[in-house]
Chain A
Amino acid sequence: MDLSVINPALLIASLMVASTPILLAALGELICEKSGVLNLGVEGMMITGAICGFAVAVETGSPLLGFLGAALGGAVLALLFAVLTQVLLANQVASGLALTLFGLGISALIGQGYRGVKPPPTGRIDLGPLSDIPVLGRVLFSHDWVVYFGLALVVAIWAFLKFSRAGLVLRAVGESAEAAHALGYKVVRIRIAAILFGGACSGLGGAYLSLIRVPQWTDGMTAGAGWIALAIVVFGSWRPGRVLVGAYLFGGLTVLQLNLQAAQLPVPVEVLSMSPFVLTIVVLVIISARRRGASGAAPAMLGRIFHASS
C-alpha cells in the first residue's frame, strides 16, 4: 500500500470532474420533482444522452454539437415519459422504470458502431493567469467548460426558484396541482416543460461521461449514476446548493476509491467499487431518519397523478 501516490490537489480537481455528470442530472431531476413529477428514468435518459452526444460528436467532430445532441436525446426520451404520465396519466414510478429499461436498450442499439471509437477532445478553458496560480489554478481553474456550466446552472436554478415568477409557479404546481389549476395555471404544460428540462440535463450529464470523463462508449456505461443522481436530489432536500454538496461528496468518494484502488489498499477491489453505493444508502438513511417522516422538504404532489376534471 502506498498512499503517497494520492495527490490532494489532483484529487480535488478530479472530484470536480467526477461529480459533474451527477450534478447535471440531479439538477434536471430537481426541477422535474419541484413540479411534482417523479421521473425515475434518469439512468435511461443519461445513457441515451451519453450515446447521442457521443455519436453526434464523432460524426460532426464537434464536442459542442455533441452536447447539444445529448440534451436533445435526453429530452426526446423525457418527452415519452411526459406523454405517458401527463397526457395518458400513467403511473410515474412504472413509467420511469420503463424509461430506464428502454433507454438502456436503445442506447446499446445506437452505440453498436461506436465501440472503441475515440471522441473529439473537449478542450480546457484557458482562464489565463487564473490557471497559473499554483495549486489553486490547477484545482479550480483548469477545467473544461461543462464543469463551469454545471456550477453556473446551480446558481441559475437557485435564483430561478427563489426570485423568479416562473420559479414560484413551478413550486406552486408541485405543491398543489389542484390549487394551481384553480388559479388558472396550465399544470400539464408546466410539468411537461419541467420533465423536458430534466431530460435535457440528464442527457448532458450522460454526454459528459462518454465525451470527457471516460471518454469512450461502452454499453451501460452510466452504471448507476442516474440512480445516484436521484438519491442526491433527496439528499439535497430539493435545494440546488445542497445538491451541489451532495454531488461533490459523491464525486469525491468515487475519486478517492479509485485512488485507493490504485494505491493497492489491501481490500478487495469490489469492496471499494461498491463503497459509493453503500455510502449513498447510508446517507439516505441518515437524512430520512433525521427528517422524521417522508414528507420533509419534498414537494407535496411528488409522484401523484393530476387530472383536471373540469
Chain B
Amino acid sequence: MTKATPLLLIEGLTKAYPGVVANKDVSFSIGAGKVHALLGENGAGKSTLVKTIYGLVRPDAGSMRLHGEPYAPADPNAARAAGVAMVFQHFSLFDALDVAENIALGMQDPPPRSTLAAKIREVSQTYGLPLDPGRTVGDLSAGERQRVEIIRCLLQAPKLLIMDEPTSVLTPQEVEILFRTLRKLASEGTAILYISHKLEEIRGLCDSATVLRLGEVVDTCTPSEVSARDLAEMMVGQTLITPTRVGGTDGAVVLEVTGLSLPASTNFGTSLKEIGFQVRAGEVLGIGGVAGNGQDELLAVLSGETVTDADTVRMNSQPIGAMGPVERRRLGVLAAPEERLGHAAAPDLSLTENAMLTGAQRRGLTRNGFLNWTKARAFATEIIEAFDVRTPGPGHVARSLSGGNLQKFVIGREILQDPQVLVVNQPTWGVDASAAAAIRQALLDLATKGAAIIVISQDLDELMEISDTFAALNEGRLSSPRPAAGLSVEDIGLMLGGAHDLEVGHGAA
C-alpha cells in the first residue's frame, strides 16, 4: 500500500440499534485516487457505515480520520464541508423541483441560479453526463436522476465520493458510462467508496474491497484477484446453491395480454404503450427493466388493481381485463407487488390479518362476508411453516418481520393458494442470499407444477437464472419476449433501451 497517510481511516466503529448491532468494530482505510468497494449482503451494515461517514449517524464507539485529522461530522453539512459527498441508493431528490434547485439544495453555498446553471452544463459536459438544469426532476428517468445526484456531488469537488448501490437502476450501457466517469474522477485524485453487492462490477472497477457480514469486517481483498464466486461466499459465509428446475415453454397459453395501453395515473407515473405477450403453463417469463419504466403499472394491470378493456387481458381465452383483484383471484391469477410494506402487506396488521388480505377467496376464509379468523390463523401458520418465516407467531404485525422473512411470507401466501398464474415484482429485492435462493426455488417449483409465472425484476442475474423467456420493459414499452438461454449482457442492455437518452442529450423530452 502507499506510504502516505490514507485519505480516510476508520478505526473500530461500532453502532448498535435496539436488538441489532449494525456495525461492530469496523476498521478500514481508503487512499486518495482509489476506488474502494464495501461489499456485503442486505443487513450487513453497509448503509449504517456510510451514513456514519456522511454524518447522518453518530457511532457509539470508534473514530475516523480524514487526511490524518480527527473527523467526526455532526451532520451532512459538516461532512460536505470536509469534502465528503454521497450519492444515495434511494435518491435524495425532490420530484417537484427542477434540476438546478435540486443541485442547489445539496450545496453549501450555491451560486446564483444563472451561474449555477452554467456550471451544471460545464460539469455535465466534462464528465459526459448530459443534463438540462431547467427540467423538473420528477420527469427524468432513473439514470438521469442519478446524474443529478452525481453532478450535485461533483460541483463540490469532493475528496471522497460515496456511492451507495449506484448501478441498481442503470442499464448495462449506462453502467459503462458511470464507470468511465468514476475512473476519470479517481485519476484526478478523488477517492471513491463504492457500495454494491454486484460482484462482477466490483471486480471490474475497484482497487480494493472490504467485506462486511452481520456488521463485522470478515475480509479484505483485491477484487480483481479473486473470483466472483469466492467474493460471494465471503459475503454470505456459506456455499450457495443455484436453483434448478426442468424448464418448459411448450404448455398451453394461459395468460395473454394484447394491445395494452394505459395513460399515466399520477404526475410522475409511466404510461404503458401497446404491451402484448403470452405466458404458457409451466413457463417463467422474466421482465427486466430499470425502475420506473412501468413495472408497477404493469403489475397493477395484471393483478386487477387497474382495470382495462375486458379483452386486453385473457386467461385461458376468457377475457378478464375488466375484473378486479377478487374475481381474478377466484380464477387463479395471483400477484405479489414489489413494495412489501404497504402494498403486498399492511404493516400494522398481524400476519393472520395479512393472510386474510389475499387468501379470503381461494382459501375460503369467509362465509357470507363474515370472516373466519380461526381458518385465517391456520393459513398464516401454514405459510410460516412451509416457507420458514422467522417470527414468534401469526399474531405479530407485518412490520416486525425482517425484509427477507416478510417477502417469504408474501410469496408463500400466494404460492400456497395454488395459482394458475403468478405475477411477482422484485421477488428478492432487499432479501438476503439464502432467502432469495429459497424464493427463487419456490417459484421454479411452482412452474414445474404447471403454473404460468411472470417475474418482473431489475436484477438481471436473477432473471437469467430462472426465466425461460425474457422481455424488457422500457418507458412503458415491452420488447417482444425472447428465449432467455443464449442472451448476452449486451443483447439485454440493448433490449433495455441502451444508454438512456444519451443520444437526445440536452433536449427536453
A-side residues, CB < 8 A to B, are 165, 168-169, 171-172, 175-176, 178-180, 182-185, 293, 295, 299-300, 310
Contact = CB atoms under 8 A, between A and B. Distances in A.
Given A168-B101, A168-B104, A310-B51, A175 B96 contact: yes
Contact of A182 (B92, B95, B104): B92
A80 B228 CA distance: 57
A173 B94 CA distance: 9
A179 B51 contact: no
B334 to A, nearest CB: 29
A181 to B, nearest CB: 8
A300 to B, nearest CB: 6
Contacts of A165: 104, 110
A185 B80 CA distance: 13
The B interface, classified by DSSP as helix, strand, loop or mixed, is loop
B96 A182 contact: no
A175 B97 contact: yes
B331 interface: no
Contact of A295 (B91, B92, B267): B267
Interface string B40-83: 00000000100100011100000000000000000111011000
Contacts of B90: 178
Interface string B248-275: 0000000000000000011100000000
A168 B266 contact: no
A3 B48 CA distance: 73
Contact of A179 (B55, B94, B104, B265): B94
A179 B93 contact: yes
Contacts of B56: 182, 184, 310
Contacts of A169: 105
Enumerate the 8 nearest inter-chain pairs by beta-carbon distance, A residue then B residue, closest first.
A184-B76, A179-B92, A182-B92, A175-B94, A184-B77, A184-B75, A175-B96, A310-B57
A23 B92 CA distance: 34
B277 to A, nearest CB: 29
17 contacts: A168-B101, A168-B104, A172-B97, A172-B105, A175-B94, A175-B96, A176-B92, A178-B92, A182-B56, A183-B76, A183-B92, A184-B56, A293-B265, A293-B266, A295-B267, A300-B95, A300-B96
B28 interface: no
Interface residues of B, number: 27
Contacts of B48: 310
B127 interface: no
B117 to A, nearest CB: 15
Given A184-B55, A310-B51, A168 B105 contact: yes
Contacts of B76: 182-184
B325 interface: no
A175 B95 contact: yes
B399 to A, nearest CB: 12
A36 B288 CA distance: 35
A299 B92 CA distance: 16
B88 interface: yes
Contacts of A180: 94, 105
A175 B138 CA distance: 11
A190 to B, nearest CB: 12
A179 B91 contact: yes
Given A165-B110, A182-B92, A184-B55, 13 more contacts: A168-B101, A176-B93, A178-B92, A179-B92, A182-B76, A184-B75, A184-B76, A184-B77, A184-B79, A185-B105, A293-B267, A295-B266, A310-B57
B493 interface: no
A62 B75 CA distance: 46
B289 interface: no
Interface in B472-504: none
Contacts of A168: 97, 101, 104-105
